[in-house]
Amino acid sequence: MAIGVKKVDRPEVGASYLRATLKGMALTFKHLVRPVTVAQQYPEEKYELAPRMRGTHRMAVHEDGRAKCVACGLCPTICPANCIKLIPAEDENGERYAAVYEIDEFRCIFCGYCQEVCPVEAIHLGVHYEAAEYSRERFVYDLERLCAQDHPFTQLWDPEDPASE
Amino acid sequence: MDSESKLINLTIDGTEVSVPEGTTILKAAERLGIVIPRYCWHPGLSAPAQCRMCLVEVEGWPKPQPACVQQVQDGMVVNTDCVEARKARRGVIEFLLLNHPLDCPICDAAGQCMLQDYAHETGQLRRRAVEAKVVLGRDHVTPEIVYFADRCILCTRCVRFMDEIAQEPVLQVINRGHKGYIDTMTDELFEHPFSMNIVDVCPVGALVNEDFLFKARSWDLDQTASICPGCSQGCNVALGTKENRVVRLKPRFNPEVNSYWMCDHGRREVVRWGAGMRAEVPLVREAERLVPADWARALDATVEALRGVEGGAKAIVDPGASNESLYIVRRLMDQVGFDGGSFRVSSGPQQVLKGFPKLALREDRAANASGAEALGYGRVDDIYGAVRSHRGVLFVLEEGLDDAPEDFADGSALFVYIGSVLSPAARKADIVLPSPSFAEMDGTFTNFEGRVQRFTQGLRPPGLARPIWMSGSVVLARLGGGEPFTSAAAAFAALAEEFTAFSGLSYEKIGLTGAVSAAAESGATAS
């Protein structure tokens, strides 16, 4: 046999399985009296996530609730997945703001470039992974939703040493 | 270049170059491909040497010299990138950035800003000043131009444009030092038909056009070489397009036509482009109703209709149509008997740019009236009167027909509408052949002095719209007029053979700066 088939010795007909069964039952019994707690009771218990975990986005807001975004257009420019849609406009004070700001979380590859490039530290990735929804449309996060997210911001760098010096 | 002027030999950055006497170091360096940083120097304006950005080291000279005004001397050894020159530049940038708000993220000039470029290139990493920045705010200088005083570096390019080129010295530097800003001497805003050029000359984002403010980032724009369709001057422009829309027009340098400038009228026209109900599919009249058809059927119907028709052909054309489109319609008319074509031109007062009198906003507010005339169409006031009693074929090319009387085409045996906009009057046509609008195709315009200039496609046309040189030449071929054209260049080549005003010209010869045909030129000198 050129391809080297391994021949397995099957137990003969009539051989006893008793010994193997008892061995297995013994292990079961051991776990019954002294359980090993490796299983996590998700969703009651949640993982402790690393501060650098890169999950769904969150927009930082000013104290009055306005998004910090100044609509500079750097995040849609740098986004490798092309998942950010931004339409800038002028507000009543003559300031530039994002009239439309949408992130398609399906397209997003969670690289964190948007957070890194943001000059005003507005858009952030979040330490968050439970993004399930009932419809596909809900995965396009608009500005209102991004501002309403309340999970912690991802830390792409050490806040003690932002320039890695 | 004057052949008699003496040549000067000098060395710039280790390379020897000879330039005519009187050349500045900056110009001499440009010959070697060395771009010396500059703010206040603009090729179309005088050189005040006040920004001090172009300081270069001249070996043996005690102090760095401003390259934009320092003339070359024999045996000069210039270093543009040595320690001393870089130090001088870094110092200048540090001063310029003292009160600069560094608001690049929201500044329209970001990405095309010379301050940004040079600060990255030679500036310091950190600000040393500890004082608070002076905040001056922003204001309008004209109804359409916003001035951000904080971003201004007081290079006075705008001031000099108004002084030297517009020759209406309304702008001034008010105050001095860190309190300095640009303004008019009165509280009133100024208005000038060429005012928006101050936005173009501004090397930073201090002067911005309100129409464009916050619309797009400069790196998002695709640039297309084109011709401004606003008047018969035919200024060379670059279309800035984004998401299949033209958002900005910038003048493109052409010393023969518009230098570095263009008028405000042309820029304002941008927003009007592509407005109205667009013709997207060919329409053919069947049993009193216009029904959508594919091109094969529409062309079949056109050929069929043109074969049997009698009574000659008349046309109403738009003087904004390209030479190629006008030519194809002319050829179609010749097939059934040319009986005259007419066009009307909207007009306005002529406004000459005093500092560059070749350039003016012309009376004819259409790009190609000369081309239409050269191709045998006549300028009339009442375009409908000429066709009212017509019994043959009526072609309408691009003309909007906004004010057409109800019955203007009722008498004609066949009404073919070729255009980009479908007005109610155009819906009376028997056949509608949709064509792209000006920015959506290649073509040429002939400007007021007979200069033929090319424009290129910057946008995708909607739906099934096809340029008439493409669809019309298929009809022509089937009516026995030779092969269909495969490009606008081929259509132009055929046109150049047939009409003397274009003889000797081709797309290659015209290039992106335009050309005057030999016939037109000799005619102009004779008259």
B147-186 pLDDT tens trace: 999 999 999 999 999 999 999 999 999 998 888 999 998 8
Q: How many CB pairs under 8 A join A and B?
A: 27
Backbone angles phi, psi at A124, to 5 degrees: -135, 150
Q: B105 and A94: CB-CB below 8 Å? A: no
State how beta strands B55-58 and B65-66 pair. Answer: antiparallel
Q: B214 and A120: CB-CB below 8 Å? A: no
Q: Which residues of A21-37 are buried (b: 16+ CB within 10 A; e: fewer)?
A: eeeeeeeeeeeeeeeee
Please tell me the distance from the alpha carbon of residue B505 to that of residue B492, in angstroms, as a whole number.
8
CB B514 within 8 A of CB B453: yes
Specify the length of chain A in residues. Answer: 165
pLDDT < 50 positions in chain B:
1, 525-527
> Which pLDDT belongs to residue B61?
93
**3-state DSSP call for residue B482?**
coil
Does the pLDDT at position A83 exceed 50?
yes
Residue ranges covered by each domain of chain B? 7-96, 131-272, 283-526
Does the pLDDT at position A75 exceed 80?
yes
Rounded to 10 deg, the angle between the B468-478 and B295-308 helix axes is 50
> Which pLDDT belongs to residue B386?
81
Chain A contact present for B125, CB below 8 A? no
The CATH class, in words, for B131-272 is alpha beta
Q: Which residues of B touch A77 (CB under 8 A)?
A: 217, 219-220
Residues 58-97, chain A: which have Cβ within 8 Å of B? Answer: 70-74, 77, 88-90, 94-96
> Is domain B283-526 classified as CATH 3.40.50.740?
yes
> Which pLDDT belongs to residue A35?
79
The CATH class, in words, for B7-96 is alpha beta
Does the pLDDT at position A135 exceed 90?
yes
Please tell me the distance from the alpha carbon of residue B204 to that of residue B108, in angstroms, as a whole number.
9
Which among A74, A85, A97, A100 is the top mutation candidate for probing chain B, defined by the most B β-carbons within 10 Å of its own β-carbon?
A74
Q: What pLDDT, in 10s, does the model give residues B136-149?
A: 989 999 999 999 99
Give how far B214 is from chain A: nearest CA, Å.
6
The amino acid at B170: V
Please name the residues in contact with B218: beta carbons below 8 A apart, sequence gap of 6 or more.
B108, B109, B110, B111, B112
CA atoms within 13 A on the CB side of B200: 25
Q: A96 and B138: CB-CB below 8 Å? A: no
Say which of B213, B215, B219 has its CB closest to residue A77.
B219
State how beta strands B414-419 and B393-397 pair. Answer: parallel
Respond yes or no on whether ipTM tops 0.90: no
> Which pLDDT belongs to residue B4?
62
Backbone angles phi, psi at B143, to 5 degrees: -60, -20
CB B56 within 8 A of CB B28: no
Q: What is the mean pLDDT of chain B?
A: 91
Does the pLDDT at position A164 exceed 80?
no
Q: pTM value?
A: 0.86
Q: Band the pLDDT of A1: cuts 50, 70, 90.
A: low
Residues 93-112, chain B: which have Cβ within 8 Å of A? Answer: 104-106, 110
> Which pLDDT belongs to residue B526?
42
List the domains of chain A with CATH numbers.
55-148 (3.30.70.3270)
